[in-house]
Amino acid sequence: MKAVIQRVKSASVTIDDTIVGIIPQGFMILLGIHEEDTKEDVDYLVRKITMMRIFEDEAGKMNLNIDAVAGSILSISQFTLYADTKKGNRPSFVKAARPEQAIPLYEAFNEGLRQSGLHVETGEFGADMQVALVNDGPVTIIIDTRDK
C-alpha cells in the first residue's frame, strides 16, 4: 500500500457537485492498494499513521500525533499511485489491486483508523471525485508498506 499523507488545515471531496466528505484540521490521505497487499499492510499503515508525529507542539516542533490535535482524516482511494510509467507515455496500472480485492482493504483501512478513535470521512471508491485541501506547512509524507 502507498499512502500520501498531507497535513491539512481543511479538506473536502465532492462527487457530482455534492460534498460527500469534509474535515477541518487533520490528514488528507490518498491510498493506493497494490495487487499483493494484505490485511497486514492495512494494520501496519494504520499504526504508522495514527502514531505519526507531524503536528507542531507549543515550541513549533513536529512532535504531536493526530490524536493530540483532535484531527480528522479524509481518506481517498487512488489507484493511480501504482502507475507504471517506465514504457511509453501512457501509464499502466496493472499492479493496482482490482476492485474486488481493493475495496475490502480500503474499507478495513478506514475502519482501523476509526477504531483508533479518529473521525474519518471518505470519498467513494471508483467515483470521479474532486478533492480540495489547504495543505498545512506544506507537509506531505509518503509511506509505502513495501519499504517497511
Average pLDDT, the chain: 97
Whole-angstrom CA distances from 9 to 6, 73, 75, 92, 108 are 10, 11, 15, 33, 25
C-alpha cell at 38: 494484505
Whole-angstrom CA distances from 45 to 79, 87, 147 are 16, 30, 11
- Of 27, 55, 79, 109, the catalytic one is 79
**Is 80 an annotated catalytic residue?**
yes
Q: Which domains does the chain have, with CATH numbers?
A: 2-144 (3.50.80.10)
* Chain centre distance of CA 111: 13
Q: Which of 58, 42, 57, 18 is nearest to 103 (CA)?
A: 42
Instruction: Give the pLDDT confidence of 53-103 residue by residue, as tens digits.
Output: 999 999 999 999 999 999 999 999 999 999 999 999 999 999 999 999 999
**Is 125 an annotated catalytic residue?**
no
Instruction: Give the pLDDT confidence of 89-146 residue by residue, as tens digits.
Output: 999 999 999 999 999 999 999 999 999 999 999 999 989 999 999 999 999 999 999 9
State the DSSP string of 83-129.
-B-SSSSS-B-TTBPPHHHHHHHHHHHHHHHHHTT-EEEE--TTS--
- Of 6, 27, 50, 78, the catalytic one is 78
Predicted confidence band of residue 15 (pLDDT cuts 50, 70, 90): very high
pLDDT, residue 148, reads 85
Answer whether 38's CB lies under 8 Å from 85's CB: no
**Is 79 an annotated catalytic residue?**
yes
